[in-house]
Structure 1
Amino acid sequence: MRIAIDAMGGDYAPQEIVKGAIEGAKREGIGIILVGQEDTIQKEMMRYDVSGLPIRVRNASEVILDGEPPIVALRQKPDASISVATQLVKRGEADAVISMGPTGTVMVSAMVTLGTLEGIKRPTAGGELLGFVPDTVIFDLGANVDCNPRELLSFAVIGCVVAKKMLHIANPTVALLSNGAEEGKGNHLVKGAYQLFKKSNLNFIGNVEGNDIPAGKANVVICDGFTGNVLIKFCEGLSRSIIERLKVTLDKRLSKTDIEAICEDLFTLTNIADVRGGGLVYGINGLVWIGHGRSKASQVAKSIRQVKLAVEANLVESLKLELTKIQELGGGV
């Protein structure tokens, strides 16, 4: 297994990216291809003992910075590190690509170079939201602000594959996030999607409300990216506020060490994407991980772990199979 890493992407590139790649290679025992300005990367690697590690460098002379228009930048900088790294996946030289660079640039590079899976018009972002309910994934969490019912159906198919392959749930339950559990509840999008979901071969259980998510009422919860992004940001903000409140409330009642342990546990349970450093983009004809720009070495190493699991689960081929099945049953996405 080989993973291509955009060594020039991120707020702390290349230092933290290289450090995290080395940590990941040691832990996971997989091949790493660091892509970027070779002299700079080699200089950074000299700070560590990399003897015996399956790490090599692929030169890419250009870097796309945050704020540059993705389409224009990719056209004007054909030798950009993210482009070269993604092309390695296209040519079969790497099994996946990881980048902590600008989200839009990584997404456009993936769509242009690798394309989307048949039946998918828009890639989606999603996954676990809360550690309290490890058997629940939510799609979309921000990649697609405006959606139509068929796009929600495609997100549901993707969510089911993720639940089956990554969470090992044989027959995941699927629900639409709405303002009421009854069939007639929701806006035009939810009502339209409800009818498509009923006709599909998904294990559809109807609508769920926001308070049903932390209760684990469904394994796969579907919403548009606007709603999903508000949801994830609310959870992150609420957890930070609760943590600050706990620090005050528990002060002098527990030791500083115990308070820090409680707060760290709560943060981990309510900020999964933050802790892992990003997430996969689903619906691309290849494995692409978009990390947070502020990711440091530990998050890069964790990203490598998650991508390794996705490669081992043969996630992309499983998605292709499930999308074909639902199209054959007349629920085409």
Structure 2
Amino acid sequence: MDTSGKTSRVRVVVDAMGGDFAPQETVLGSLEALKIADIELLLVGDKQSVEEELSKHDYDASLVTVVASVDKIGDDEHPVHAMRSKPEASIIVATKLLKSGAADVLVSMGSTGASMASSVMILGLMDGLERPCIGGPFLGMSPKTMLVDMGSNVDCRPSLMLSFAALGTAFSRTFIGLDNPRVGLLSVGSEEAKGNRQVQECYKLFEDSHMNFVGNVEGMDFFTDKADVIVCDGFVGNILMKFTEGLGAALGSYLQKGLSSQMNNAQSESIISDLWRITNLPRKMGGPLFGVNAPVVLGHGSSKADGVAGAINTAVRCYDLNLVDSMRSELSEVTALMETSG
């Protein structure tokens, strides 16, 4: 999307029916973002339900538009089949608004598969890319270290993972602010020969690329500042992310029992809240969809209002920083390498 004609307010289209707690939390979170960001909102969903939620809050009505949709796509539905049978579903209507230029960014807490499918089919992929991916920081204690892919592609050829590394490099440089991000390949050991066939084939491609490749990294290196962009396929990435979420919840429960006799509720809840925050960063800021031709941020399905607001803030920042253009530029260098070597 051409961002040269930016307006003063970023126009955010939200799939108001997406997520486990929609539309209550999606509407509330959108309005929370409206209080702190220079944005306009387009809330897509069942008009009566969305307007009913809006009526519970005070807000500047001139900055909020409700766009009616007929249906929504659930997590249990096949994304492509559902898009064909539900052409007026909220995520499809929202994506078309972004494509048409009526909005600048899209945010959804709904079905990841449906959000990705509608983005690919309506917005299109960047030149030279086979599939999009989801990436970003995922540990609050290491906020400058990012993971890609977080779960959108469970089977990846080495060439696709090289593309993901390029997209992650652009994100790290543009969004996080690192001049020359270090790229690491997640493996079972730091030596070049370690890893399965996929990792070993990736190693050679990464080594020959223009990126600042530092070799294989291990799971513990998310905490050692060895790499800024850690690359794996979505199968491994999603397991890693959900393990971290589960670990945070389990430790929180364990600590709550132990701390209850040693400090008051406010103190123990503060510690538990901090632990949850550092192990659940994607729930607070969403995950940008890398590789499509406009800014799209996907949130966790169980996100409450603060997660919705965080995802909106992430999307606005992606737009302000021209992240899509940065990714196109980085990806073009990888595409040129693959054409030369292939």
Q: TM-score, normalised by structure 1?
A: 0.94
Structure 1 position 66, deviation (Å):
3.6
Structure 1 segments unaligned to the other structure (5+ residues):
none
> How far apart are the structure 2 equivalents of 1:256 and 1:8?
35
Are the equivalent residues in 2 in contact too, given 1:123–1:281 (CA < 8 A)? yes
Task: Confirm or deny that 1:31 pairs with 2:37.
Answer: no
Structure 1 position 330, deviation (Å):
5.0
Are the equivalent residues in 2 in contact too, given 1:25–1:55 (CA < 8 A)? no
> How far apart are the structure 2 equivalents of 1:35 and 1:226?
31
Match of 1:234 in 2: 243
Pick closer, same or farther for the CA change 1:331–1:214 going to 2, 3 Å: farther
For 1:301, give the aligned amino acid.
Answer: A
Match of 2:157 in 1: 148
Deviations 1:204-253 (A, max 9, x none): 01111111221121001111111111211222222222222322333433
* Structure 1 residue matching 2:176: 3-state secondary structure: coil
Are the equivalent residues in 1 in contact too, given 2:161–2:231 (CA < 8 A)? yes
Match of 2:253 in 1: 244
Deviations 1:66-96 (A, max 9, x none): 4222212211221211111101111111111
Are the equivalent residues in 1 in contact too, given 2:162–2:334 (CA < 8 A)? no
Structure 1 position 267, deviation (Å):
1.3
Pick closer, same or farther for the CA change 1:23–1:216 going to 2, 3 Å: same
Match of 2:6 in 1: none
Structure 2 segments unaligned to the other structure (5+ residues):
1-9
For 1:135, give the aligned amino acid.
Answer: K
For 1:326, give the aligned amino acid.
Answer: V
**Map 1:205-244 → 2, pairs under 5 A:** 205-244=214-253
Match of 2:301 in 1: 293
Match of 1:123 in 2: 132
For 1:205, give the aligned amino acid.
Answer: V
Deviations 1:87-106 (A, max 9, x none): 11111111111112212111
> How far apart are the structure 2 equivalents of 1:247 and 1:143?
34
Match of 2:119 in 1: 110
Task: Confirm or deny that 1:279 pairs with 2:287.
Answer: yes
Structure 1 position 16, deviation (Å):
2.0
Structure 1 position 326, deviation (Å):
2.7
> How far apart are the structure 2 equivalents of 1:63 and 1:208?
40
Are the equivalent residues in 1 in contact too, given 2:163–2:334 (CA < 8 A)? no
Match of 1:57 in 2: 66
Task: Confirm or deny that 1:306 pairs with 2:317.
Answer: no
More moved, 62-71 vs 23-32: 62-71
**Map 1:60-209 → 2, pairs under 5 A:** 60-209=69-218
Structure 1 position 2, deviation (Å):
0.3
Are the equivalent residues in 1 in contact too, given 2:30–2:41 (CA < 8 A)? yes
> How far apart are the structure 1 equivalents of 2:255 and 2:329?
47
Are the equivalent residues in 2 in contact too, given 1:199–1:331 (CA < 8 A)? no
Are the equivalent residues in 2 in contact too, given 1:144–1:226 (CA < 8 A)? yes
Pick closer, same or farther for the CA change 1:13–1:189 going to 2, 3 Å: same
Match of 1:6 in 2: 15
Q: TM-score, normalised by structure 2?
A: 0.92
Match of 2:4 in 1: none
Are the equivalent residues in 1 in contact too, given 2:284–2:306 (CA < 8 A)? no
* Structure 1 residue matching 2:194: 3-state secondary structure: coil
Task: Confirm or deny that 1:255 pairs with 2:267.
Answer: no
More moved, 6-15 vs 117-126: 6-15
For 1:51, give the aligned amino acid.
Answer: D
Corresponding residue pairs, total:
332
* Structure 1 residue matching 2:72: 3-state secondary structure: coil
Are the equivalent residues in 2 in contact too, given 1:20–1:296 (CA < 8 A)? yes
> How far apart are the structure 1 equivalents of 2:316 and 2:146?
19
RMSD of aligned residue pairs (Cα, Å): 1.8
> How far apart are the structure 1 equivalents of 2:73 and 2:143?
36
Where does structure 1 differ by over 4 angstroms across 4 or more consecutive aligned residues? 329-333
Structure 1 position 10, deviation (Å):
1.9
Are the equivalent residues in 1 in contact too, given 2:185–2:231 (CA < 8 A)? yes
> How far apart are the structure 1 equivalents of 2:258 and 2:24?
39
Pick closer, same or farther for the CA change 1:66–1:194 going to 2, 3 Å: closer
> How far apart are the structure 1 equivalents of 2:37 and 2:147?
27
